[in-house]
Structure 1
Amino acid sequence: MPKFCANLTWLFTELPFLERFEAAKEAGFDAVEVLFPYDVNAQDIVSELAKHDLHMVLLNCPPPNYTGGPQGFAAIAGLQDRFRKDFKRALRYAQTLGAQHLHIMSGVAEGDEAKTVFMDNLRWAAAEAPDQSLTIEPINNDTMPGYFLNDFKLGREIVIAVDAPNLRLQFDAFHAAKITGDVQGTWDAMRDITAHVQVAQMPDRSEPDQGEIDYPAFFAQLDGEGYDGWVAGEYKPRAETADGVGWIKT
């Protein structure tokens, strides 16, 4: 089976944030990811990771703007200086936590200028943090209306054009199903540039077990292909999180 990771922004939300680390370990996970942990003292998270022998796999970048601004803006013209400032903040946080990947969000934008800005920011970030793995993730427009990086072909084009050894794709099977309707075909086209995988079932973004996507077959294929990255559960539990984690053992 692949290595499974719990997204603590989505899972174990019935518990206070810092208690979710222990719950994830008890449920059988060896790693976690958190989308935006920036309002929590980093050392408190480091302590939880060490206490429960957990690896931090991924954070989102940049930190969110709680005053109503965009959560991601790497593709938004005019915000390049802000992106660079906030990237450095997120990088320091990620390094403190030992996060394997830092996911750079494009934000809501469109057109050729946005594409140019996004690629310029990615090139700068990759050079600024050459030892940090960076990812970009195609996200469907139902989940995030207007999100610039809303297509896997565009994601591939950008990764190849930026041509940085530390920039790769983040493959979310739920978004692949929403965007292309063909998880298997999309994976086949993207696996060579993919560094991280996330999963949830269609159509309700619940546990990756019974439903439209054949996850046992997908996990078996990952094993057969020698995929050695993490597979993160980023889904909305149907009930108590611990009641629905059997998928990591099947």
Structure 2
Amino acid sequence: MPRFAANLSLLYQEHPFLDRFAAAARDGFAAVEFLFPYAFAPADLAARLAAHGLQQVLLNAPPGDWDAGERGIAALPGREAEFRTGFARALDYAHALQCPRIHVLAGIVEPDADLAACEATYQVNLQWAADQAATAGKTVLIEPINTRDFPGYLLQTQAQAHAIVASLGAPNLMVQMDLYHCQIMEGDVATKLRTYLPQGRVGHIQIAGVPERHEPDVGELNYAYLLGVIDEVSAQCGWNGWVGCEYRPRRGAAPGATRSGLGWLPHVRG
């Protein structure tokens, strides 16, 4: 079965953030991911990873003003200098944490925005980021995100993301395939896994139940089947990435909430 990484931004919210590393390791995770590390010193995060024998497999570049509703700035004309400064900071953290992947959020496009200008800005920024990341031995990821959670988000479908990656042609620019977002926007998830994994442009997968974004054993997606598809296709094409558990436990931040919801994991691990 695929290798699973705990998303520490969503899981283990019953613990202070720096204590979530230990909780994930106790529950058998060998790797973690999170959204934004920038509230903590790189050395403190690296120490937690080392202390608990964890790999950091993914982090996000700065998204702009998250609290004000921004969800990335890579596609926003006029924010190029801010994007580059933020991405350089992400590279510093990725180096300190030995993290191989950085997700770049595209951003929310206003209804009256010049869509062509936004798309052009996005591609220029991605090419620049991929060049910078290549020098550092890192991979840049882009993720289609559903417009129910992020209304107006620029990058919405797998086909759109793969077309951008193919067009730019940077070998270290790849797609972050979140099956939760994929189901909401497009459906037909198993076929998309069979289509895109063999093409070699999927750098990371994430999972969550649909529609509430709770544990993957709740909702309309059959993850036991889908994880089997990933396993089957990986055996054929050599995909060996991580599957990030990016969901909100049903019990929220109640004591033991995350652990009590991990009953699905032993069944899919076999």
TM-score by length of 1: 0.96
Separation in 2, partners of 1:33, 1:84: 22
Task: Confirm or deny that 1:164 pairs with 2:170.
Answer: yes
In structure 1, list runs of 5 or more residues that go unmatched.
none
Residue equivalent to 1:199: 207
Q: CA offset at residue 67 of structure 1?
A: 6.9
Which residue, out of 240, 245, 248, partners 2:262? 245
1:133-148 mapped onto 2 (5 Å cutoff): 133-148=139-154
Residue equivalent to 1:75: 75
Which secondary structure state, in structure 2, belongs to the residue aligned with residue 129 of structure 1?
A: helix
Classify 1:146/1:63 alpha carbon distance in 2 versus 1 (closer, same or farther; 3 Å).
closer
Separation in 2, partners of 1:85, 1:211: 40
Residue equivalent to 2:123: 119
Contact 2:21-2:52 at 8 Å conserved across structures: yes
Which secondary structure state, in structure 2, belongs to the residue aligned with residue 124 of structure 1?
A: helix
Classify 1:106/1:63 alpha carbon distance in 2 versus 1 (closer, same or farther; 3 Å).
closer
Classify 1:67/1:228 alpha carbon distance in 2 versus 1 (closer, same or farther; 3 Å).
closer
Residue equivalent to 1:41: 41
Q: CA offset at residue 94 of structure 1?
A: 1.3
Classify 1:180/1:71 alpha carbon distance in 2 versus 1 (closer, same or farther; 3 Å).
closer
Separation in 1, partners of 2:67, 2:227: 40
Separation in 2, partners of 1:121, 1:149: 14
Which secondary structure state, in structure 2, belongs to the residue aligned with residue 4 of structure 1?
A: strand
Which secondary structure state, in structure 1, belongs to the residue aligned with residue 228 of structure 2?
A: helix
Two-structure CA RMSD over aligned residues (Å): 1.4
Q: Deviations over 1:92-148 (max 9, x none)?
A: 111111112100010012611111111110111111120111100000001111111
Separation in 1, partners of 2:66, 2:35: 14
Which secondary structure state, in structure 2, belongs to the residue aligned with residue 216 of structure 1?
A: helix
Q: Deviations over 1:11-44 (max 9, x none)?
A: 0001000110010011111100010110111111
Which residue, out of 219, 228, 233, partners 2:227? 219
Separation in 2, partners of 1:86, 1:202: 32
| Aligned-pair identity (%) | 40
Residue equivalent to 1:93: 93
Q: CA offset at residue 64 of structure 1?
A: 4.4
Separation in 2, partners of 1:55, 1:248: 19
Residue equivalent to 1:153: 159
In structure 2, list runs of 5 or more residues that go unmatched.
252-256
Separation in 2, partners of 1:93, 1:63: 15
Separation in 2, partners of 1:71, 1:155: 17
Residue equivalent to 1:103: 103
Q: Deviations over 1:51-99 (max 9, x none)?
A: 1000001111125436737341000111111111111011111111111
